[in-house]
Amino acid sequence: MWQKVLFKCVWIVAFVGAYFIVTSTIDYFKKNAEPADTEPKISIEELEDRIIDLEAELEETKSEYDFLSSENDELRESIEEHTSSLEEVDTRVSDIEWAIFE
């Protein structure tokens, strides 16, 4: 008998809890929802100006990238030239060492 009463109490508490959860969720979304007729926080003109600024910044960044890329290529070529000349010097030194020790 007491088990049936306890079971009914558990169901009542569960339904009351679910009711409060649902109503508080609905209230939260009602309170934090923006009305549909409000003005946007930023105007279309400001967005267009920002897009133009970003496009200009993108072009500037592209030109900087191209400049740095070409400079990087020049440095790589210079490193390759110096590496090959160092290899030639190393070969000459080893030839001289062999000539001395023979």
Going residue by residue through the chain, which has 102 residues, state the pLDDT in tens, using 9 for 90 and above: 778 888 888 899 999 999 999 999 998 888 877 666 667 678 889 999 999 999 999 999 999 999 999 999 999 988 888 887 777 877 887 877 777 776
Structural domain includes residue 40: no
- Assess if residue 79 is contained within a domain: yes
Residue 5 domain-assigned (yes or no): yes
The three-class DSSP label of residue 14 is: helix
Give residue 65's pLDDT.
94
In a domain, 11, yes or no: yes
Q: Is residue 43 part of a domain?
A: no
Domain range enclosing 1:
1-33
Q: Are residues 17 and 61 in the same domain?
A: no
Residue 58 CA to residue 25 CA, distance in Å, equals 44
pTM above 0.85, yes or no: no
pLDDT at position 37 = 67
d(CA 87, CA 94): 10
Q: Is residue 41 part of a domain?
A: no
| pLDDT number for residue 59 | 95
Q: How far is the CA of 52 from the CAs of 6, 12, 20, in angstroms?
A: 69, 61, 50
Q: Write out the two tokens for 7.
A: 């079971």
Would you state the pLDDT for residue 36?
66
Q: What is the dihedral of CA 9, 14, 17, 22, to 10 degrees?
A: -140
